[in-house]
Structure 1
């Protein structure tokens, strides 16, 4: 524990130095990043507020998360930091912290009457008052580098003013366990009897391989509803969560069946598909039963699950409890080993959802675009700057926990060497890439709409571009992405250090960069921004710094303007109307900024050349792949497809060409690409290799 504590303090101090933030904010960011990686929270916001509520009671929060899918508001509170000391969080300490954070919610009206209107504390309190009917769960989380006292065991939930209040403590020992787990996650362990007084689910084992074991069962609707109401969206695989956030939780048809025809639920509903790292099986006289799960995730059937849970909670007046007790839901469970999870779970999710209305954008986190960006990030190192003798890499984390997996259980020297080549400060994730590119596409209102919405909208754009011409993802594109990342991180720092800055940094930065990009495009017909220079310097010039300082203040004034049509500033930032007004605001250009613009035709020529080079590389790689598979493999593909009757006449001619490569037949680059498409077609039809 001592070495972990030292490592935590070093990380905290490094973040303070490089990102120019307070110790408290640095600690909040470190802990919340770990919880986000563990999929316990997402899209967190730092917000430090201290004040007095009704009856002079103390109020304090240090951040929040609002989960629209779960109708859950999470408030964070941090006691004083222990740093290198071994301190204990007592039951009385925890109770006091829980109350201080809880009162922010229940005394929101008092905060509004006394707080400054432009402050984030006012904005969140205003939001709470306007969303109270939407908030079903209030979660209070204590983040601390203390050790939790042994006297603190299970903390009971409470029901206050029709809101369920949950309490959690993430102390240093709990964070150490998360950090030391193989995938950087806190496993969700469910004991059916302990948690729900359920005796088990009768189960039938089906297919089994070295990588997974499959089971079929009928899960009682009451149990499924209670499980979802307890664990909420943690029970859903990422793509399903994305789908429900976009399309809505409750399906009217499913709700109607629950309330009016529960005996027909099994016949009408396709059921759910789930994965788990492990299941507990017990033998009974009437057969095998599942008594528990480890890391259960629903990969298909999210609306079914959420509709049952919603009816159980919100349709009691319509006799929902008795109706749901009559329902059984077909459930397919795939138990996948942790080492195979990254590859298998996305495929299980993709194939499970190929039979319903889940769009490509909903499944975009598994799109080949992300694999290509990952490959570029491992191959292209940044230029050596600042006296370094070698360039460092930016690390694209395509899958959650990928970065820490690189050094899991490695030696200290290997970890040090890896982190010197791939510094943690140069790690970026899918939601980061989406945010940066939405800003570049002049959609700051989308970038401000939360990580998942921003990612979904970017995915819609990305899939259209990819389907049109996937060669746009090339070395030049990657360098531009990194330049956008540098631009965002540096702008974030610039805004943070302005005398006028108080709050709404993420929105100010998004609007500032988008409006600069928009105005350059509008005002300079022959010039454009030189992103490749930002890549080469791995930094911003003085011209950029001065321009951001000037425009960011103008955007701050716009976002907090008194005549805004939405009271809450963060909500106003999400409105397209806000962006439409912002991009019409005039500002002066700094001379140094104008001097560094580059000829637009030159940039277009460079991008076109990069696409042509990528096209050649892709074609060459396609031809190599066809040869690497070998003619015996292509015969196997052909015979399987012939048996399944999936080939048309044109397909057969391409397959014959592939089968003849050992006899000297040579496909063209275009023909090789078509042959690989036919392999994908076979796999979509369940070809097993």
Structure 2
């Protein structure tokens, strides 16, 4: 079985399980599963389901839409529309470019119809097609491009994009295919953009003059380029936000719109743009260089990613509409680093972090190698949860801090080991960075932020975590992780139960889930009591009284979301507003009397936190003492002598290392062991252990006064 066939088999099993558990159609489960990939890959910011496929409404021809990418005013005028090509088959199916018109033209016909008030007004306001039509009518004057996205669980075997589609006349249409193979590549490696190869001479006028900024044989190739504004605008117009590293894009969009000052310079003083602007920092998988009469130039760039300069790029692109005549006078510098794909996870975040130092929160807070994510990953591999009632095996929750960790970890195992892995890490207990952000922000009373999409929500969450982590990382301990899993259990349970409710009419499930969870936490948490999260992670299930409370809140959330105030028609956009959350928060719910059994006194929750800290301190102390003893007295004698000879030890260091060197006659305490290991770490940064010799000279005996100063408090 090939990797693609195995991926398809697992994908279909997941989709069918999700559809059966939640009572939804397989195509809906497929859309939900793949929408987040589109956002994470930078194809769109957010994907809202909007299933509409009646028969024969356009001269006997089909109309169809399965989703849309939010308000085009939030994405530089790009209207994103999504259609699913889903085959409920056990074998990998294929389709070619000759099939594309048949799939996309019903979407284009829908767009034509949706632009008319007659079509919109013929629909019920609760109909998803009404929501999309109203949004299109409201924003059409500001739409600069229509992006059609074909999402399929079949394999696309077309080799070019020369496909004749229906035309809408006044606005350009682009299209892209996300097929089974592309999703498989993305899920294994987080990469699905190998088709972004920019040919400057062939497609954009001329190669880019460049200066090589790295020596031959250097670890990484680097170049300095001067990019004409017209070329940068044209390149961005074709590929859009896919050129902006997804996490950095969200990071910037969460804080500011396109810089008005940059746009003013383009309009009024375009020739001063180069000296005024700091330029762009970018990475690429590969570049192709040519020699011109003027010297070295770059002819093509593979997988260009602008890691700093999103606002500059967006402003220059906006000049296509607002200052086209000035763009020939605009130039911007670019620092381009060629990073091999196998090193991108380590190198690109650092480039972005250092390039974005002017921002309040470092861009590195978003990346998978931030210490917060590493710690969560460590907990997820080690923390065991007791088997649920009726099940035999204890399990763990698998935190995927970077795309592909789960599928690749499993693929490296033998069939027997895979069975053991599946028992230890059930697929239903896999969660990602964006999932974590949804769980946390739902519980924290930010459902309107969650409703803005996985990436925007994650950006705001990362901002909070980055600031809190910089103050103190101590709160993010094992108990914090266990309580996070409790929130995951609540969120996932609601996701499966909401579609089964008699009041559920389809659509807005994601909004209902986050609002319901936020409402229950809001009602439960007060000055003296809070929701008992510890009981949930211990049982790995949701207590019955809490289930009833969550469904009561979900029904209320559904009512508020689907009945927006006068003048507001798009319910998905309404759910993104603080006012929507205020409306639900203010409503009084009549919870059952036994809801109180799901609460715990705040003081008791704090005691559990203190107990966890004490347990952690004791464990760390035991581990430190064990490590010191394992290294042995002779080793510590060498450490002491090396530090004394170079005068690198404080009196306190000397005293504690002397105790370690006299083992087993004297044993260091937990605190002393910690101090000895810290001193060892410090000496290693100064060269200890690098093969340098040291004398056997001993430190001078401590005076009584200095010994008193060095006394360790236990």
TM-score (structure 2 length as normaliser)? 0.80
Tell me which of 106, 113, 120 is aligned to 2:112: 106
Change (3 A) 1:657 1:467: farther
Aligned CA RMSD, in angstroms, stands at 4.0
1:577 aligned residue? 579
Alignment of 1:110-121 (within 5 A): 110-121=118-129
Greater mean alpha carbon deviation, residues 606-615 or residues 265-274: 606-615
Rounded to whole Å, the distance in 2 between the matches of 1:284 and 1:662 is 67
1:522-543: CA deviations, max 9, x gaps?
4xx6543221121122221222
Rounded to whole Å, the distance in 1 between the matches of 2:422 and 2:203 is 41
Change (3 A) 1:448 1:223: same
1:586 aligned residue? 588
Tell me which of 129, 135, 151 is aligned to 2:143: 135
Rounded to whole Å, the distance in 2 between the matches of 1:151 and 1:281 is 25
Alignment of 1:127-526 (within 5 A): 127-148=135-156, 150=158, 153-155=161-163, 160=168, 162-176=170-184, 178=186, 182-187=189-194, 188-207=196-215, 211-284=219-292, 286-311=294-319, 313-315=320-322, 318=323, 320-321=324-325, 323-354=326-357, 356=358, 358-360=359-361, 362-366=363-367, 367-407=370-410, 414-502=417-505, 503-522=507-526, 526=528
Greater mean alpha carbon deviation, residues 477-486 or residues 163-172: 163-172
For the Cα contact (< 8 Å) 1:70–1:232, is it kept in 2? no
The alignment partner of 1:206 has SS state of coil
The alignment partner of 2:172 has SS state of strand
How far the C-alpha of 1:473 sits from its partner, in A, is 0.3
Rounded to whole Å, the distance in 1 between the matches of 2:429 and 2:155 is 31
Q: If you compute each CA radius of gyration, which structure gives the higher value, 1 or 2?
A: 2
User: Are 1:559 and 2:566 counterparts?
Assistant: no
Rounded to whole Å, the distance in 2 between the matches of 1:126 and 1:562 is 14
Greater mean alpha carbon deviation, residues 226-235 or residues 557-566: 557-566
Rounded to whole Å, the distance in 2 between the matches of 1:44 and 1:385 is 34
The alignment partner of 2:68 has SS state of strand
Rounded to whole Å, the distance in 1 between the matches of 2:583 and 2:34 is 37
The alignment partner of 1:263 has SS state of helix
Rounded to whole Å, the distance in 2 between the matches of 1:325 and 1:489 is 53
How far the C-alpha of 1:229 sits from its partner, in A, is 1.3
Rounded to whole Å, the distance in 1 between the matches of 2:348 and 2:65 is 37
Rounded to whole Å, the distance in 2 between the matches of 1:163 and 1:256 is 26
For the Cα contact (< 8 Å) 1:70–1:233, is it kept in 2? no
Rounded to whole Å, the distance in 2 between the matches of 1:378 and 1:207 is 42
For the Cα contact (< 8 Å) 2:47–2:453, is it kept in 1? no
For the Cα contact (< 8 Å) 1:274–1:299, is it kept in 2? yes
Rounded to whole Å, the distance in 1 between the matches of 2:430 and 2:469 is 24
Tell me which of 36, 48, 53 is aligned to 1:45: 48
Alignment of 1:587-606 (within 5 A): 587-606=589-608
TM-score (structure 1 length as normaliser)? 0.83
How far the C-alpha of 1:443 sits from its partner, in A, is 2.2
Change (3 A) 1:118 1:612: farther
Rounded to whole Å, the distance in 2 between the matches of 1:614 and 1:568 is 49
The alignment partner of 2:296 has SS state of strand
Counting matched residue pairs gives 653
